[in-house]
Amino acid sequence: MSFDVSSDPPVDLPFDLAFDPGQQAIADAVARFCADRFDDDAVKQSTGAVPRDAWQELAGLGVLGVLTPEGEGGLLEAVAAMEALGRAVFPGPLAATFLATRVLADPERSRVAGGSVLVSVGSAGLWPFAEQAGVVLEIDDESVRRVHFASAPTPVDTLGGETWGRAPVVRDADLPDAAAGLVVYRTLLAAQLAAMGRRLVDDASAHAAVRKQFGRPIGDFQAVAHPLADCAMRLDAAATLARAAACYRDAGADAPSRRYAAAAHVSACQAGLDAAHVCHQVFGAVGITLEGPVFHVSRRIRQLASTAPGPDASRRVLTSCMNGEAAQ
């Protein structure tokens, strides 16, 4: 087994964990877009269907097409966008869309990147945003397959507030480049989850710094402060793992990108869920109301952390990395 960075082909750039100016510009632009056009109230109301107008505007900014040849971006650019989208809790099948732009060909790819065609990625008969989706991709173990619904999907309301659908599918074709596609998918899910979790932790910390009980801010109490600190630490690690996966993917280093993407996925699912639980607790009763500052985020974290392929599939990737490489 080896998780040793040095076994990967060295890229002669200076070690640096910050986004480069172009990536940072994407993150900033997306953050501004969300603040201006899709604030917290809009997010809270965005359960159910994908908000097509906002989606279209996001596509118009070039965000959804960043991984296409025309987009000229790499996975790091998509991570930069996704961190901002996650922090703003922007709805819709984001990671699925990026996956599709990686594994589909034109003209469909352009339609997905342009926001006119929505993507559903799922498995085993339960399909996110099924009624709105124009492209359906099934993930089966480590392959990605094009499928279409055999009959109109039955709408299913979900914990995350999204309307999904249940339908049998007809399998069309396995898509090439599935491995790279799954790296994209896992990495971006991880980046999104870590950013959503960190958003919650920052909000809860701000609350804890001013909310007083027993004569002082509740953030003075270690029983409040230390769980928040633990969440922040784990979320930062998960976010960094996602960045690492993207960095190696963009450098063409397949094995490390696969490993880091799988680890980022498992890490972000756990850290995100822990953050959701801790922040419900820190906000107390207000945190369990629908109008409060937690549930519209925590329900989406819970949803993303259960989205197929779940963290168990990523654990299997890690096991094969560990023991496959041990045999070398």
- Kindly state whether residue 142 participates in binding another protein, applying the rule CB under 8 A: no
CA gap 37, 125 in Å, rounded: 34
- 157-186 residues near another protein, rule: CB under 8 A: 157-160, 164
Distance CA 128, CA 132 (A): 9
Judged by beta carbon, residue 85 or residue 263, the one nearer another protein is 263
Instruction: Name the segment binding another protein (CB under 8 A); options: 30-38, 91-99, 111-119, 274-282.
Output: 274-282
Select the residue interacting with another protein from 18, 21, 105, 151 (CB under 8 A): 18
16 binds another protein (CB under 8 A): yes
Size of the site for another protein (CB under 8 A): 102
Tell the smallest beta-carbon distance from residue 225 to a copy of itself (Å): 9
Q: How many CA atoms lie within 13 A of 231 on its CB side?
A: 30
Angle at 100 between CA 103 and CA 127, to 5 degrees: 125
Q: What is the nearest approach in angstroms of another protein to the Cβ of residue 107? A: 30
Binding residues for a copy of itself (CB under 8 A): 221-223, 226
The residues, any chain, with a CB within 8 Å of residue 1's CB and separated by 6 or more, are 321, 322, 323, 325, 326
Which residues 218-237 are close enough to bind another protein by CB under 8 A? 219-226, 228-230, 232-234, 236-237
Task: Name which position in 180, 260, 272, 293 contacts another protein (CB under 8 A).
Answer: 260
Nearest Cα to 126, choosing from 109, 99, 111, 147?
Answer: 147
CA distances from 326 to 2, 183, 244, 319, 320 (A): 7, 22, 22, 10, 9
Contact between 288 and another protein by CB under 8 A: the answer reads: yes
Kindly tell me which of 15 and 173 has the beta carbon lying closer to another protein.
Answer: 15
